[in-house]
């Protein structure tokens, strides 16, 4: 369904939307062992999109068994890297070919702008699958310099069964960040998508089988965190968990591992990234454009969102004025409407949470813009972009991850103070620095506690560079060849000659 110049007719496609809604195990669909379901709701209008099978411990057992059988018989784990490449390249192609459906799925299920899911999430996901597909038959092992009496090789082996537990902000992309390197390396996977947005991962699993992935290698168990998520964490036969989500739940996965089989736990957790703007920046318009992008992309529901803006006092008023102009121009609305430039939050619950922070911000800082709930008549979860200025370090809106379209602004006087303020956080996922002084850029980037520092941009991200945090933002890296570190173990083989 395409109209001549404006692409797909999203509203019409939404009317006909019929998502997969059952558990995917061993290449086939099944209901939960309990027979129960849960509702996934669209934050676009608060309506139930689908009743989805509510996977729990018994379903995770079945998925892990299927994954283990597939791993042990070598149907994928011992296939030639060139064969894995072929299948994953075909999956990348199928993601693109089914792009409109996948883009619509995340727009309806997660409330993301379809203009973004169709141009960023879907092509980005296809590109990541393609990248790992192309990488996997170009990785060589090592021969250790042990001398003439032995041959010692160091090779990368798949771990076995990998559990992946992911959040709702980039449902398709987060699944792909875990699946692409895990599968490329030869592992089997049990994936639990977020309760708020389970639908695109189910379709992705079906596409993977269509691409030629053998049955049982990828299993998807939708369900609740406290049920299916915990069952993955505690499972005695899952070798590693790759988690993206909150710091609080990340810590639970560490305890699950300790209480069960000491599985490896890789954590991509929360953030409260600082965006530091120095007084020497000539192009303050660019800094304002990207500061707005940095806290409003995906309605602010981004782990690396630039939620704290630190501006040199001499440029503070000027930058805040430029920024507020841009924030005021945002059109918050239906994620399927071409006019919308910001969609709803993922759920009514998330909107209540953000509103709680707006209330505390009103008491602890100065509200410069926004704060309201919008479009309540639609039944959707719409929040006005919100900016607080003169925010003290003690304020909750300065310290805590809000995961919504809320910016906290503060002024600084010296470089030393800027670095100290930026680093005064339990998180260390990302940071941005704006300066026209190369020496300062290099010096400050080196001192910031962050997995990624973007200079004269925000949130720099690409499949070629590792992404992940320090401190309580977690450890381990997604993307790039470094992601393979968490989905493989090094095997030393020593042959005495």
Active site residues: 268, 303
What residue 452 binds from ligand NAP, Mg ion, none (CB within 5 to 8 A, per partner kind)? none
Closest CA to 445 of 418, 466, 412, 408: 418
What residue 112 binds from ligand NAP, Mg ion, none (CB within 5 to 8 A, per partner kind)? none
Structure tokens at 464: 């070629």
* 224 belongs to the binding site for ligand NAP (CB under 6 A): yes
Only one of the segments 8-16, 187-195, 355-363, 384-392 lies at the binding site for ligand NAP (rule: CB under 6 A); that segment is: 187-195
Which residues make Cβ contacts (< 8 Å) with residue 392, sequence separation at least 6?
A: 364, 365, 398, 410
* 303 belongs to the binding site for ligand NAP (CB under 6 A): yes
| Shortest distance, position 226 Cβ to ligand NAP, whole Å | 5
* 312 belongs to the binding site for ligand NAP (CB under 6 A): no
* Residue selected from 403, 412, 434, 487 as contacting ligand NAP according to rule CB under 6 A: 403
* 404 belongs to the binding site for ligand NAP (CB under 6 A): no
Position of tokens 């849960």? Answer: 38
What residue 40 binds from Mg ion, ligand NAP, none (CB within 5 to 8 A, per partner kind)? Mg ion
Q: Taking the CA atoms of the chain, what radius of gyration do you get in angstroms?
A: 23
Sign of CA dihedral 244, 246, 251, 257: negative
| Shortest distance, position 413 Cβ to Mg ion, whole Å | 45
Structure tokens at 193: 């998508």
* 59 belongs to the binding site for ligand NAP (CB under 6 A): no
| Shortest distance, position 54 Cβ to ligand NAP, whole Å | 10
Q: Is 28 helix (H, G, I), strand (E, B) or coil?
A: strand
Position of tokens 């459906």? Answer: 101
Spatial distance between the Cα atoms of 426 and 449, rounded to a whole number of angstroms: 10
| Shortest distance, position 163 Cβ to ligand NAP, whole Å | 10
Structure tokens at 309: 């803006």
End-to-end distance of the chain based on CA atoms, in angstroms?
67
Consecutive H or E run containing 266? strand 264-268
* 472 belongs to the binding site for ligand NAP (CB under 6 A): no
Only one of the segments 109-117, 190-198, 322-330, 379-387 lies at the binding site for ligand NAP (rule: CB under 6 A); that segment is: 190-198
* 450 belongs to the binding site for ligand NAP (CB under 6 A): no
DSSP for 134-189, please give it. HHHTT---EEE---TTEEEEEEEEE-SEEEEE--SSSHHHHHHHHHHHHHHTT-EE
Give strand pairing partners of 155: 491
Spatial distance between the Cα atoms of 128 and 8, rounded to a whole number of angstroms: 24
| Shortest distance, position 97 Cβ to ligand NAP, whole Å | 27
| Shortest distance, position 455 Cβ to ligand NAP, whole Å | 20
* 195 belongs to the binding site for ligand NAP (CB under 6 A): yes
CB 470 within 8 A of CB 449: yes
* 245 belongs to the binding site for ligand NAP (CB under 6 A): yes
* Residue selected from 226, 331, 338, 372 as contacting ligand NAP according to rule CB under 6 A: 226
What residue 105 binds from Mg ion, ligand NAP, none (CB within 5 to 8 A, per partner kind)? none
Q: How far is CA 405 from the centre of its chain?
A: 17
Question: Residue count at the site for ligand NAP (CB under 6 A)?
Answer: 30
Closest CA to 81 of 163, 170, 216, 186: 186
Binding residues for Mg ion (CB under 5 A)? 40, 109, 196-197
* 166 belongs to the binding site for ligand NAP (CB under 6 A): yes
* 230 belongs to the binding site for ligand NAP (CB under 6 A): yes
Spatial distance between the Cα atoms of 27 and 7, rounded to a whole number of angstroms: 33
* 43 belongs to the binding site for ligand NAP (CB under 6 A): no
* Residue selected from 76, 168, 295, 434 as contacting ligand NAP according to rule CB under 6 A: 168
Give the CA distances from residue 259 to residues 62, 235, 254, 266, in Å, rounded to whole numbers and listed in that order: 21, 10, 9, 16
Nearer to ligand NAP, 271 or 371 (CB): 271
Nearer to ligand NAP, 106 or 415 (CB): 106
Spatial distance between the Cα atoms of 140 and 155, rounded to a whole number of angstroms: 8
| Shortest distance, position 250 Cβ to Mg ion, whole Å | 22
* Residue selected from 37, 79, 119, 246 as contacting ligand NAP according to rule CB under 6 A: 246
Closest CA to 412 of 243, 276, 248: 276
* Residue selected from 384, 401, 415, 459 as contacting ligand NAP according to rule CB under 6 A: 401
**Which residues in the 415-444 window bind ligand NAP by CB under 6 A?**
429
Nearer to ligand NAP, 119 or 246 (CB): 246
Structure tokens at 346: 């993922």
* 38 belongs to the binding site for ligand NAP (CB under 6 A): no
| Shortest distance, position 95 Cβ to ligand NAP, whole Å | 20
Closest CA to 178 of 193, 198, 156: 193
Give the CA distances from residue 339 to residues 320, 331, 342, in Å, rounded to whole numbers and listed in that order: 25, 7, 9
* 192 belongs to the binding site for ligand NAP (CB under 6 A): yes
* Residue selected from 268, 334, 384, 459 as contacting ligand NAP according to rule CB under 6 A: 268
Q: How far is CA 224 from the centre of its chain?
A: 18
User: Residue 215, Cβ neighbours under 10 Å: how many?
Assistant: 17
Position of tokens 């379903």? Answer: 59
What residue 109 binds from Mg ion, ligand NAP, none (CB within 5 to 8 A, per partner kind)? Mg ion
| Shortest distance, position 375 Cβ to Mg ion, whole Å | 17
Interface ranges with ligand NAP (CB under 6 A): 165-169, 192, 194-196, 224-226, 229-230, 233, 244-246, 249, 252, 268-271, 303, 401, 403, 429, 469, 473
């Amino acid at each position: 369904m395409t109209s001549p110049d404006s692409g797909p007719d999203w509203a019409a496609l939404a009317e006909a939307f019929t998502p997969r809604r059952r558990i995917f195990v061993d290449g086939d669909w099944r209901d939960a062992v309990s027979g129960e379901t849960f509702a996934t709701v669209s934050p676009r209008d608060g309506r139930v999109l689908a009743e989805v099978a509510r996977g729990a411990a018994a379903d995770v057992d079945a998925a892990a068994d299927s994954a283990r059988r597939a791993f042990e018989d070598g149907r994928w784990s011992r296939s030639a890297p060139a064969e894995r490449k072929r299948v994953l390249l075909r999956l990348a192609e199928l993601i693109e070919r089914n792009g409109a459906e996948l883009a619509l799925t995340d727009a309806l299920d997660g409330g993301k702008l379809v203009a973004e899911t169709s141009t960023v999430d879907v092509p980005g996901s296809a590109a990541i699958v393609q990248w790992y597909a192309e990488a996997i038959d170009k990785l060589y092992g090592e021969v250790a310099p042990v001398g003439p009496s032995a041959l010692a090789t160091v090779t990368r082996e798949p771990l076995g069964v990998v559990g992946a537990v992911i959040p709702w902000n980039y449902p398709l992309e987060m699944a792909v960040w875990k699946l692409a390197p895990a599968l490329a390396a030869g592992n089997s996977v049990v994936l639990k998508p977020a309760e708020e947005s389970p639908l695109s991962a189910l379709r992705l699993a079906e596409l993977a089988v269509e691409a030629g992935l053998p049955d049982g290698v990828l299993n998807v168990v939708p369900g609740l965190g406290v049920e299916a998520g915990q069952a993955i964490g505690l499972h005695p036969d899952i070798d590693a968990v790759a988690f993206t989500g909150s710091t609080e739940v990340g810590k639970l996965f560490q305890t699950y591992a300790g209480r069960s089989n000491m599985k490896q736990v890789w954590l991509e957790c929360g953030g409260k990234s600082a965006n530091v703007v120095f007084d020497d920046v000539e192009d303050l318009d660019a800094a304002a454009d990207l500061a707005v992008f940095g806290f409003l992309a995906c309605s602010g529901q981004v782990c690396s969102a630039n939620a704290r803006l630190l501006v040199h006092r001499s440029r503070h008023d000027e930058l805040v004025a430029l920024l507020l102009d841009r924030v005021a121009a945002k059109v918050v609305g239906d994620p399927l409407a071409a006019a919308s430039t910001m969609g709803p939050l993922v759920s009514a619950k998330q909107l209540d949470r953000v509103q709680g922070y707006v209330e505390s911000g009103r008491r602890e800082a100065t509200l410069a813009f926004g704060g309201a709930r919008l479009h309540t008549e639609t039944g959707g979860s719409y929040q006005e972009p919100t900016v607080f200025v003169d925010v003290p370090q003690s304020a909750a809106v300065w310290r805590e991850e809000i995961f919504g379209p809320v910016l906290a602004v503060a002024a600084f006087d010296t470089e030393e103070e800027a670095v100290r303020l930026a680093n005064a956080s339990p998180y260390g996922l990302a940071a941005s620095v704006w300066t026209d002084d190369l020496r300062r850029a290099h010096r400050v980037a080196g001192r910031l506690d962050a997995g990624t520092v973007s200079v004269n941009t925000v949130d720099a991200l690409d499949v070629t560079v590792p992404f992940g945090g320090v401190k309580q933002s977690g450890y381990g890296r997604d993307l790039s060849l470094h992601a393979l570190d968490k989905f493989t173990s090094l095997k030393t083989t020593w042959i005495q000659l």
